[in-house]
Chains A and B, each alone.
Chain A
Amino acid sequence: MGEPKDSLALFLCHESESSLNEDDDETIERSDKQEPHFTTTIDDEDYVADLVLKENLRFETLPSKTTSSSDRLIAIDWILTTRTRFGFQHQTAYIAISYFDLFLHKRFIGLQKDETWAMRLLSVACLSLAAKMEERIVPGLSQYPQDHDFVFKPDVIRKTELLILSTLDWKMNLITPFHYFNYFLAKISQDNHSVSKDLVLLRSSDSLLALTKEISFTEYRQFVVAAVTTLLASSSTSSDIRLTREEIANKFGSISWWTSNENENVYLCYQRTLEIEERKHMTPPPEIAVSREPPASGSGAKRRLSFDDSDQSSPPAKRMRRL
């Protein structure tokens, strides 16, 4: 027989955000890396089309329960801060927040007085699981930072990990916007040769993590969020132009699976993201609000909680299971 026909059929494995990772093997990484290119292979097309198909099949429109919850914001801040401390990838933090949102959709935790420790424990376990999925070097459970208020033993975190895994039905391999960034950037980059690809990726990652405070993982399909984030990150910061539906359709016109339905979803998410940005400029900085002690958590008395392997007696909260 002759040479293999479909040599492009091999699909490449490579780090997403490889240029953003601080890597001990930076020298080796650089010598091994191909020159960056702004075209996609046949398999990239197939792969992204598969992802979009999966997302469309699995997506359920659910009303958001936790978008404006102060507890959720505190949890996200903790995850983002800890991500920076450990040097995790942006994607790891995003996945941890996604686990957090998905878990709470299945097991609702009410905003009761003594629930703040549960939110922190959930945050620790979600970040630990995300690190196990995404990071080369995973810290031990005892290395996660402890507060004065909460001290969790490794066994307790492990049990929480198991609870999350069972609740999410072990479906831990989430599709995230990071799967799409390189692809969308390649599709729209012909308009912006002057913008550095690495810079756009970094902007996309940073703005995506900031966006998690405003929208939860379950509100939009991930490719929609990725397309919007890529659009915003690749446009000039001095530009104040809003894109129309038609202009967005032109940006993604070379994508074979892009339909008017996809375009409409992206347009709506794009509009909302711009509204969020505008609202931020007109309201006081959120840091002031977050830095205060939440009044609901008690009357100023800090509570040091140390959990052993014993049941915590507490009134059962309502369980809202997703059907």
Chain B
Amino acid sequence: MGDGSSSRSNSSNSTSEKPEWLQQYNLVGKIGEGTYGLVFLARTKTPPKRPIAIKKFKQSKDGDGVSPTAIREIMLLREISHENVVKLVNVHINFADMSLYLAFDYAEYDLYEIIRHHRDKVGHSLNTYTVKSLLWQLLNGLNYLHSNWIIHRDLKPSNILVMGDAEEHGIVKIADFGLARIYQAPLKPLSDNGVVVTIWYRAPELLLGSKHYTSAVDMWAVGCIFAELLTLKPLFQGAEAKSSQNPFQLDQLDKIFKILGHPTMDKWPTLVNLPHWQNDVQHIQAHKYDSVGLHNVVHLNQKSPAYDLLSKMLEYDPLKRITASQALEHEYFRMDPLPGRNAFVASQPMEKNVNYPTRPVDTNTDFEGTTSINPPQAVAAGNVAGNMAGAHGMGSRSMPRPMVAHNMQRMQQSQGMMAYNFPAQAGLNPSVPLQQQRGMAQPHQQQQLRRKDPGMGMSGYAPPNKSRRL
């Protein structure tokens, strides 16, 4: 690691102005702007120093209080623990502006960027091993969620992260639980959330207005992602209608029908019960579709196990759509190359490994609403030394240059912000790491689950275990 990165200690004048919870981190810079607010890259100060993504929840509309999306995401992530689900490390309350910050284990990559890299730079598809490993791990995490009665509802490539650090290199993490729901929780139309959710991965029963849906909506999205990993472009790239609440999505349905053909009551008996099927019968049923055929779009042999699995994921009838646990047992995953824990590097590499670019880091952006902070140490994002360094061709990695941080001091009133007289407010310690809900509850609960789902929990991958790496 000799690419000119150097330590630059310059924190003496800003340490005293940091929020208390932030002093355990070395802030690197901004890495993105999510739907709900900024995302920063930081690194823990105490060993083992590891990269952390700090996601700030900006306040919802003035006067609405804590956002339901934040509550739901934190609540769910506090309940679950799985290798293929993103890990919530800490929840911080910034009392200066009463905003919320979530600290996650940092994931260097996501499927959106990986696909884009192959499409724009590499020029050819992902190799079979990587596609299979990414898909298997995604299904493994999803099976865990569904077994715990959680439906994600917003699966898309940008929400499927892949780890870059040495210990977990190539491990898939399902992220963004702001729209997730637990079984029997009351449903809300997606448009109610005011969230821009890309429509390309939305299941047909949702597009046709169903308010009662199942975990099958996640499996449809996985099918779309699977196809996109194969073809490097979205499978059903429709334009979303946003005229009113729960509008009729004609264009998206049109894109689906052109490839899969027209749904029929023979294949989908409950089709007639869906609101938009009745209300907009003219738009759909009057239109003639000459379907291209899924096999022609994804260029798979119709008799291949890969095509069989994909077509079962993209089954119209949600009752017949394959489940995550069934998919994990599919023949596709039993053929060579067997899926592995490191989706990027097979234990017996058959093809050249692809080195993906790291995320750009903006080191010149301050936390919103907090004091200006100079990064005390300029480090490359995700640049973790380890035994995988050689495989990545470290020299080709582009390092973000340290830049002079914005030096304006914005003093925030951190005293006397508590307007209510609840006793023992000093006992409120939001920066204390949250204890994982393990121990007695989880192992016992998993043993009691009726359906035996191989690969559930921490056990890793389907047998045989030849491809497992330690």
Contact of B212 among A6, A32, A133, A137 (CB under 8 A): A32
Most buried by A among B66, B273, B278, B331: B66
**Interchain CB contact under 8 A, B419 and A136:** no
A156-B449 CB under 8 A given contacts A14-B184, A15-B186, A57-B440: no
Chain B residues with Cβ below 8 Å from A156 are 419-420
Interface residues as binary, B406-419 with A (CB distance below 8 Å gives 1, 0 otherwise): 00000000001111
Q: Are A140 and B320 in contact (CB under 8 A)?
A: no
Which residue of chain B has its CB nearest to the CB of A125? B65
- Whether B61 lies near A140 (C-beta < 8 A) is yes
Instruction: Identify which of B61, B318, B416 contacts A310 (C-beta below 8 A).
Output: B416
Residue interface bits A40-73, CB-to-B below 8 A is 1, else 0: 0000011101100110011000000000000000
Residues A50 and B322 in contact, CB atoms below 8 Å apart: no
Which of under 10, 10 to 19, 20 to 34, or 35 or more describes the interface residues of B?
35 or more
On chain B, the residues within 8 Å of A166 by CB distance are 93, 428, 430
Docked CA distance A310–B413 (Å): 11
Check A28 against B68 for contact (C-beta < 8 Å). no
Partner of A3, one of B320, B331, B416: B320
What is the bound-complex CA distance between A11 and B149, given in angstroms?
8
A124 CB to nearest chain B CB (Å)? 10
Chain A residue contacts of B423, Cβ below 8 A? 107, 109, 316-319
- Give the distance to chain B from A198, nearest Cβ to Cβ, in Å: 17
* CB of B210 within 8 Å of the partner chain: yes
In contact, A10 and B318 (Cβ under 8 angstroms): yes
Provide the bound-state CA to CA distance between A159 and B214, in Å.
36
CB distance from B410 to the nearest CB of A (A): 18
Smallest CB separation, A18 vs chain B (Å): 9
Q: Does B130 contact A (CB under 8 A)?
A: no
Bitwise, A159-189 to B at CB < 8 A (1) or not (0) is 1111101110111110000010000000000
Residues of B within 8 A of A125 (CB): 65
* A154 at interface, CB cutoff 8 A: yes
- Contacting pair A1 B331 (CB below 8 A): yes
CB–CB A136/B186 < 8 A: yes
**B397: min CB distance to chain A, Å:** 37
Residues of B within 8 A of A179 (CB): 184
Residues A46 and B445 in contact, CB atoms below 8 Å apart: no
A13 to B146, CA, bound (A): 12
Q: Is the CB of B419 within 8 A of A32?
A: no
Q: Are B214 and A12 in contact (CB under 8 A)?
A: yes
Contact residues, B46-69 vs A (CB, 8 A) = 59, 61-68
Does residue A5 face the partner (Cβ distance < 8 Å to B)? yes
Which residue of chain B has its CB nearest to the CB of A156? Answer: B419
A10 and B212 contacting across the interface, CB-CB below 8 Å: no
Asked if B468 CB lies within 8 Å of chain A CBs, one says no
Q: A57 to B75, Cβ gap below 8 A?
A: no
From A13, A136, A142, A157, contact of B192 by CB (8 A): A136
The answer to whether A6 touches B326, judged by C-beta atoms less than 8 angstroms apart, is: yes
- Residues of B with C-beta under 8 A to A157: 65
Shortest Cβ distance from A320 into chain B, in angstroms?
Answer: 9
Please, which residue of chain A has its CB at the minimum distance from the CB of B308?
Answer: A1
From A109, which residue of chain B is reached at the shortest CB distance?
Answer: B423
Chain A contacts of B449 at CB under 8 A? 46, 50
Closest to A16 in B: B184
We find that the number of chain A residues with CB closer than 8 angstroms to chain B is: 81
A31 interface residue per 8 A CB criterion = yes
Whether, in the assembled complex, B151 has its beta carbon less than 8 Å from a beta carbon of chain A, the answer is: yes
Report Cα–Cα, A154/B59, bound state, in Å: 12
Chain B residues positioned under 8 Å from A317 (CB to CB): 423-424
A135 located at the interface, meaning its Cβ lies under 8 Å from any Cβ of chain B in the complex = yes
A140 to chain B, nearest CB (A): 5
* B 79-101 contacts with A by CB, 8 A: 79, 91, 93, 98, 100
In the complex, whether A25 has a CB less than 8 A from a CB of chain B is yes
B470 at the interface (CB under 8 A from A): no
| Inter-chain contact A28/B209, CB cutoff 8 Å | yes
Asked whether A4 is an interface residue with its Cβ less than 8 Å from the other chain, the reply is yes
Whether, in the assembled complex, A200 has its beta carbon less than 8 Å from a beta carbon of chain B, the answer is: no
Inter-chain contacts of B98 with A (CB < 8 A): 155, 158-159, 162
User: Across the two chains, which residue of chain A brings its CB closest to B323?
Assistant: A9
Contact pick for A57, options B186, B275, B424, B441, CB 8 Å: B441
Q: Is A129 an interface residue (CB 8 A)?
A: yes
A137-163 with Cβ < 8 A to chain B: 137-138, 140-142, 153-163
Expressed in whole angstroms, the Cα–Cα distance for A58 and B67 within the complex equals: 27
Q: Which residue on chain B has the smallest CB distance to residue A33?
A: B212
Contact A161 B424 (CB under 8 A): no
Q: Could you tell me which residues of chain A, from 77 to 130, have a CB within 8 Å of some CB in chain B?
A: 89, 107, 109, 114, 118, 121, 125, 128-129
CB atoms of B420 and A312 under 8 A apart: yes
In whole angstroms, what is the CA distance A290 to B449 when docked?
A: 47
Bound-state Cα–Cα, A159 to B417, Å: 9
Asked if A194 lies at the interface with its beta carbon under 8 angstroms from chain B, I say no
Q: Nearest Cβ in chain B — how far from A144, in angstroms?
A: 10
Q: How far is the CB of B440 from chain A (nearest CB, A)?
A: 7
> Is there a chain A Cβ closer than 8 Å to B211's Cβ?
yes
Are A57 and B326 neighbours in the complex by a CB distance under 8 Å?
A: no
Known contacts A156-B419, A158-B98, A9 near B451 by CB under 8 Å: yes
Q: Is the CB–CB distance between A158 and B445 below 8 Å?
A: no
Q: Are A172 and B417 in contact, with the CB atoms below 8 A?
A: no
Contact assessment for B214 and A13 in the assembled complex, using a CB-CB cutoff below 8 Å: yes
Task: Kindly report which residue of chain B lies nearest to residue A58, judged by CB atoms.
Answer: B441
Known A-B contacts A163-B422, A169-B78; the reply to A31 vs B275 at CB < 8 A is yes
Determine if A309 is an interface residue (Cβ-Cβ < 8 Å).
yes
Q: Contact check: which of A155, A172, A319 meets B419 at CB < 8 Å? A: A155
Contact of A319 with B424 at beta-carbon distance under 8 Å, contacts A155-B419, A158-B65 already known: yes
Q: Could you tell me the distance between the alpha carbons of A154 and B441 in the complex, rounded to whole angstroms? A: 38
| Residues in A neighbouring B64, C-beta threshold 8 A | 138, 140-141, 154
- Which residues from chain A contact B187 at a C-beta distance below 8 Å? 13-15
The minimal Cβ–Cβ distance linking A134 to chain B, given in whole angstroms, is: 6
- Say which residue of B209, B278, B318, B419 sits within 8 Å of A308 (CB atoms): B419
The complex places the Cα of A14 from the Cα of B212 at a distance, in Å, of 5
Specify the chain A residue showing the minimal Cβ separation from B212.
A14
Q: Distance in Å from the Cβ of A6 to the closest Cβ of chain B?
A: 7
Mark out the residues of chain B between 399 and 450 whose CB falls within 8 Å of any chain A CB in the assembled complex: 416-425, 427-428, 430, 434, 440-441, 444-445, 448-450
Top 10 A-B pairs, shortest CB-CB distance:
A319-B424, A312-B421, A154-B63, A132-B68, A317-B423, A158-B65, A10-B214, A314-B421, A28-B275, A170-B74
Given A11-B146, A140-B61, 9 more A-B residue pairs with CB atoms under 8 Å apart are A4-B312, A4-B326, A6-B325, A10-B214, A12-B214, A15-B186, A46-B449, A132-B65, A134-B186
19 A-B pairs in the complex with CB atoms less than 8 angstroms apart: A1-B308, A4-B326, A6-B323, A16-B186, A118-B422, A121-B420, A129-B66, A133-B72, A136-B189, A138-B64, A140-B64, A156-B420, A159-B420, A161-B66, A169-B434, A170-B75, A308-B419, A309-B416, A319-B427
What is the interface of chain A, defined by CB distance below 8 A to chain B?
1, 3-7, 9-16, 25, 28-29, 31-33, 45-47, 49-50, 53-54, 57-58, 89, 107, 109, 114, 118, 121, 125, 128-129, 132-138, 140-142, 153-163, 165-167, 169-173, 179, 307-314, 316-319, 321
